[in-house]
Each structure stands twice: as structure tokens, then as C-alpha cells.
Amino acid sequence: MSAHPADLQAIGQIAVNVRDLPRATAYYRDVLGLRFLFEGPGMAFFDAGGVRLMLAVPSEPKYDHAGSIIYYRVADIHAAATRLAARGASFTTPPHLIAKLTDHELWMAFLDDSEGNTLALMAEQRG
């Protein structure tokens, strides 16, 4: 089956609901270390490795709901967790092994952002 120009491709943007935009902007910029791009009314945008992340105060009640978990790839999950914790991140689940696959191990750690959204770190460790 070949791809059609209208088929879904790479993720272009992910939206995360926030209550306090200045607090969330500072957290994603200063604690998580994502590159701040720009802001608009009720929104702030970051670059997460080529995927745009939008933090937004819900514009109406139908959009005011919990978000999905965003999994951020890291090369060294233990070092990343240590650096993030030193900058104020609070982990709900420290780095731990999820699965031993034939060619790598999958590790994850979970934390909450400043707005109560769950985030995750993931690392595929080979060798």
C-alpha cells in the first residue's frame, strides 16, 4: 500500500492544556530545557526535537480536559533524570526497566509538570 498525499505523516504539533501559562512556560523552558519559540494570546510554543509543543490555556470548556502523556526520548535516562531533578522536576516514578527486547532495553521514568500533566522520559539502550 503506497502513501497518499493526504495520509498522516509526522507529528507537527502537540497541545498541552495548562492553567497558569507563565508558570508552565517557565517549567518547560527552565526545568525541562525545551527551546522556546514564540507566544500568542494564551499560548506558548516550544521545539521538542523537531515537534512543536503548544502550551495553551483552554479556550472553552470542551477543550478543558487532561492531556495525553508525552514521551521524550533521551540518550541516558539516569543522567537526564538527575539533571531534571536538579532543576526542580519531581519524578513520580524514577527510571526503571520496562522491557528487555532482542536488541535493546526500554527504560522509562515519569514526572508531573507544573500543571499536573504526566510526562515521561524514555530511553532505548543498546548493548
Contact 52, 12 (CB under 8 A): yes
Cα(43)–Cα(53) distance, rounded to whole angstroms? Answer: 10
Which is it for the CA torsion 40, 41, 47, 50, positive or negative? negative
pLDDT of the residue at 67: 82
pLDDT computed for residue 96 by the predictor: 97
The whole-number pLDDT of residue 1 equals 56
The strand pairing partners of 42, in sequence order, are none
> Residue 4: what pLDDT?
64
| pLDDT of res. 64 | 85
- Whether residue 35 contacts residue 91, with contact meaning beta carbons closer than 8 Å, is answered with no
Q: Sketch out the chain's domains with CATH numbers.
A: 13-125 (3.10.180.10)
Q: pLDDT at position 2, please?
A: 62
**Average pLDDT by consecutive 10-residue portion of the chain (127 residues)?**
66 92 98 96 95 93 86 94 96 96 94 93 90
CA dihedral sign, ordered 38, 43, 47, 52: negative
pTM comes to 0.82
